[in-house]
Amino acid sequence: MLHAIAIDDEPAALEVLQRYADKVPFMQLTHTFLSTTEALACLHTHRVDLLFLDIQMPDVHGLDFARLIAPLQKRIVFTTAYAEYAVDGFSLQVLDYLLKPIEFGRFLQTCNRAYAQLLPAREGPPGIFVKDGYDWIRVNVEQVLYIQSDTNLLFIHEQGRQVSTRMTLADMLDTLPAEEFIRVHKSYIVALKAIRKIERHQVTVGTVAIPLAESYREALQTRLLKKPPSKGVDVV
């Protein structure tokens, strides 16, 4: 379970974060604060895996507060209505930057990213949660072979299982470990380690042929062929 806190001088913004957090099965928003000074003691005395932090705060500016608590090595997600702080925010190596009004899907994407980074060392193989109807399904990232999109519906193909969820392919790609997955077509993401053959217009993942679009071929070849192909991968 991820333990999170939120800091925002607008009560309505904290209510949105609390409502969203209540929908995420692997996270608890344990405390909310209207000022950074109120939150400082909590950061020192409680387990905090994730900090949702507004930038335009009246006491201490959010960017300055992030620098102040840097020695605590907390994962920070900026929540703000101001896009112009994004470069400064990411220069502080924050986990994510959410622009208000925050959509739940974008919030969940950030939570999954935090989950993938923080929990594997504690609870085994890395995973993410996706919603299938009314259920939350844990997807084992290490078992994913490829993901197919049909408009906003994704079909996640694991070894021996298929999971469907309503999500865009771009959002899924942002959630998955970037070093392990790549987009090969407007409708497909594949796991790099699962590719067995690269042909001019398709790649083979297991026994499945997946289309390879011209616009993605060079990126794929750069990722896979910058060093000798892994054992078992054929290049045609």
Query: What is the Rg, in whole angstroms, of the alpha carbon atoms belonging to the chain?
Result: 20
Tell which residue, 16, 46, 41, has the closest CA to residue 30: 46
One-letter amino acid for residue 70 of the chain: A
Structure tokens at 70: 């840097």
Q: What is the pLDDT of residue 125?
A: 53
pLDDT band at 230 (very low <50, low <70, confident <90, very high): low
pLDDT at residue 198 above 80? yes
pLDDT, average across residues 28-32: 95
Q: Does residue 112 sit in the same domain as residue 173?
A: no
Q: Does residue 63 sit in the same domain as residue 19?
A: yes
64: CATH = 3.40.50.2300
Tell which residue, 187, 183, 177, 178, has the closest CA to residue 139: 177
186: CATH = 2.40.50.1020
pLDDT in tens, 126-181: 678 888 877 888 888 888 999 999 877 999 999 889 999 988 888 888 888 888 89
Q: Does residue 116 sit in the same domain as residue 144?
A: no
pLDDT, average across residues 35-47: 90
Structure tokens at 149: 């999109």
Range in 55-69, 110-124, 134-148, 205-219 with the lowest mean pLDDT: 110-124
Beta-strand runs (E) in the chain: 2-7, 27-33, 50-54, 75-80, 96-99, 127-132, 135-140, 144-150, 153-158, 161-166, 181-185, 188-191, 195-198, 202-205, 208-211, 234-235
Three-state secondary-structure class, residue 99 = strand
pLDDT at residue 210 above 90? yes
User: How open is the CA angle 219-171-222, to the nearest 5 degrees?
Assistant: 10
Range in 40-49, 90-99, 130-139 with the lowest mean pLDDT: 130-139
Q: Does residue 9 sit in the same domain as residue 116?
A: yes
Of 29-33, 92-96, 196-200, the range with the highest mean pLDDT is 29-33
Give the residue, 72 or 126, on which the prediction is more confident: 72
Q: Does residue 153 sit in the same domain as residue 78?
A: no
Percent of the chain's residues with pLDDT above 90? 49
Q: Does residue 75 sit in the same domain as residue 48?
A: yes
pLDDT band at 12 (very low <50, low <70, confident <90, very high): very high
Q: What is the pLDDT of residue 132?
A: 82
Give the residue, 233 or 158, on which the prediction is more confident: 158
Structure tokens at 214: 């011209």
Tell the burial category of 71 from Cβ atoms under 10 Å away from its Cβ (0-12, 13-18, 19+): exposed
Tell the burial category of 96 from Cβ atoms under 10 Å away from its Cβ (0-12, 13-18, 19+): buried
The residues that bridge with 144 in the sheet, in sequence order, are 158
Q: What is the pLDDT of residue 73?
A: 85
The number of folded domains in the chain is: 2
Q: What is the pLDDT of residue 11?
A: 95
Q: Does residue 9 sit in the same domain as residue 63?
A: yes
181 found inside a domain = yes
pLDDT at residue 124 above 60? no
CB 103, CB 16: distance < 8 Å: no
The residues that bridge with 136 in the sheet, in sequence order, are 131
pLDDT, average across residues 182-210: 93
Parallel, antiparallel, or unpaired: how do β-strands 234-235 and 195-198 relate?
Answer: parallel
Percent of the chain's residues with pLDDT above 70? 92
Q: What is the pLDDT of residue 231?
A: 56
Q: Does residue 116 sit in the same domain as residue 155?
A: no
Segments forming the whole domain that contains residue 34:
2-121
Q: Does residue 116 sit in the same domain as residue 204?
A: no
Tell the burial category of 235 from Cβ atoms under 10 Å away from its Cβ (0-12, 13-18, 19+): exposed
d(CA 206, CA 234): 12
Range in 28-37, 157-166, 218-227 with the lowest mean pLDDT: 218-227
pLDDT band at 89 (very low <50, low <70, confident <90, very high): confident
For tokens 């969203």, the residue is 20
Q: Does residue 149 sit in the same domain as residue 226?
A: yes
